[in-house]
Amino acid sequence: MVAVYVVPGVAYLVLSIFLKERKFWAVVAALITASINILLVLLCGIGMAIAVFNTTGNGGADTADIIVAIVFALWVLALAQLIYHLALSFKAIQIVPLEEQRGFAPVMIEPVVAPVPNPPDNMPPA
């Protein structure tokens, strides 16, 4: 069970740090981790289904078995959604967010006040 819960959980936490830094390899590693995780969950679910059908002679299942099967199905759907969103994030990591865009700050031009001409010296006072 460590391979199903702890190892992928730690891997997702570590890879999320690098995904925040927009590392391409982190998306690939998270996709691989999610794919292996969903494969292990499906294998566990198939093994559980075989065990349930072998223990009950007529192939019927208890209410507890049905609840566990629903939880497994929801877990598989959640992992499938994770894989889908990780596949979409290839485009998202290429876009630079607005707060990280670098460049120069333009210097705004201030309006020039026209100088008042001095009256000529030979002009009579008003």
**Residue 79 maps to a domain:** yes
**Residue 101 maps to a domain:** no
Into how many domains does the chain fold? Answer: 1
CA angle 71, 73, 75 (to 5 degrees): 70
**Residue 10 maps to a domain:** yes
Q: Given this model, what pLDDT does residue 45 score?
A: 87
Q: Given this model, what pLDDT does residue 38 score?
A: 92
**Residue 41 maps to a domain:** yes
Q: Given this model, what pLDDT does residue 94 score?
A: 82
Q: Write out the residue range of the structural domain in which residue 89 sits.
A: 6-95
**Residue 51 maps to a domain:** yes
pLDDT, averaged per 10 consecutive residues of the chain (126 residues), comes to 81 92 92 93 87 70 82 93 93 76 71 74 65
Reported as half-sphere exposure (CB side, CA atoms, 13 A), residue 60 has a value of 3
Question: Which sign does the torsion angle of CA 65, 69, 39, 33 carry?
Answer: negative
Q: What is the pTM of this model?
A: 0.68
**Residue 1 maps to a domain:** no
**Residue 106 maps to a domain:** no
Give 8-68 as a DSSP string.
Answer: HHHHHHHHHHHHHTT-HHHHHHHHHHHHHHHHHHHHHHHHHHHHHHHHSTTS---HHHHHH
The answer for residues whose C-beta is within 8 angstroms of residue 22's C-beta and 6 or more apart is 93
**Residue 25 maps to a domain:** yes
> Taking a C-beta distance cutoff of 8 angstroms, is the pair 23, 59 a contact?
no
